[in-house]
Amino acid sequence: MSENLIPSKKIARTRAGQSHYISDTDETGLGAVDAVADESAPASMWGEAWKNLRRRPMFWVAAFIIAVAVLMAAFPQLFSSQDPRFCELSRSLGAPEPGHVFGFDQQGCDIYSRVIYGARASVLVGIFTTIVVVIIGGTFGTLAGFFGGWIDALMSRLTDIFFAVPLVLGAIVFMQLFKEQRTVMMVVVILAVFGWPQIARITRGAVLQAKNEEYVTSARALGASRWRIITSHILPNAMAPIIVYATVALGTFIVAEASLSFLGVGLPADVVSWGGDISRAQTALRTQPMVLFYPAIALALTVLSFIMMGDVVRDALDPKARKR
| Cα distance between residue 280 and residue 294, in whole Å | 13
Reduced to 3 states (helix: H, G, I; strand: E, B; else coil), residue 79 is coil
- Quote the pLDDT of residue 70: 92
Write out the chain's pLDDT in tens, 324 residues. Answer: 444 444 444 444 555 555 555 555 555 555 554 555 555 555 566 677 788 888 888 989 999 999 999 999 989 888 988 888 888 888 888 888 888 888 888 888 888 999 999 998 889 999 999 999 999 999 999 999 888 888 889 988 888 888 888 888 888 988 888 777 788 888 999 999 999 999 999 999 888 888 888 888 888 888 888 888 888 888 888 888 888 889 889 989 999 998 888 888 888 888 888 988 888 888 777 778 888 889 999 999 999 999 999 888 888 876 555 555
Return phi, psi of residue 99, to 5°: 90, -10
Q: For residues 312 and 243, is the Cβ–Cβ distance under 8 A?
A: no
Phi, psi (degrees; rounded to nearest 5) at 161: -60, -50
What does the pLDDT read at residue 3?
Answer: 46
How confident is the model at residue 9, as a pLDDT?
46
Q: Which residues contact 155 (CB under 8 A, 6 or more apart)?
A: 140, 143, 144, 200
Q: What is the pLDDT of residue 91?
A: 81
Handedness of CA 304, 305, 306, 308 (dihedral sign): positive
Domain boundaries, the chain: 108-323
Alpha helices for the chain (secondary structure H): 30-34, 45-53, 57-74, 111-147, 149-163, 167-177, 184-195, 197-210, 214-221, 226-229, 235-262, 274-280, 290-317, 319-323
CB count in 10 Å sphere of residue 294: 22
Residues 6+ apart with CB under 8 A from 12: 19, 20, 21
Q: How many CA atoms, within 13 angstroms, populate the side-chain half-sphere of residue 219?
A: 18
Interior/surface letters 236-254, b for 16+ CB within 10 angstroms, e for the rest? ebbbbbbebbbbbbbbbbb
The CATH superfamily assigned to 108-323 is MetI-like (1.10.3720.10)
How high is the pLDDT of residue 175? 87
**Whats the size of the chain, residue-wise?**
324
**Measured at the alpha carbon of residue 259, what is the angle toward residues 257 and 265, in degrees to the nearest 5?**
80
pLDDT in the model for residue 254: 92
Q: Region of 272 please: left (phi>0), alpha (psi -120 to 50) or beta.
A: beta
Q: Which residues contact 248 (CB under 8 A, 6 or more apart)?
A: 306, 307, 310
- Cα separation, 308 vs 301, in Å, equals 10
Contacts of residue 256, Cβ cutoff 8 Å, sequence gap at least 6: 167, 168, 171, 191, 195
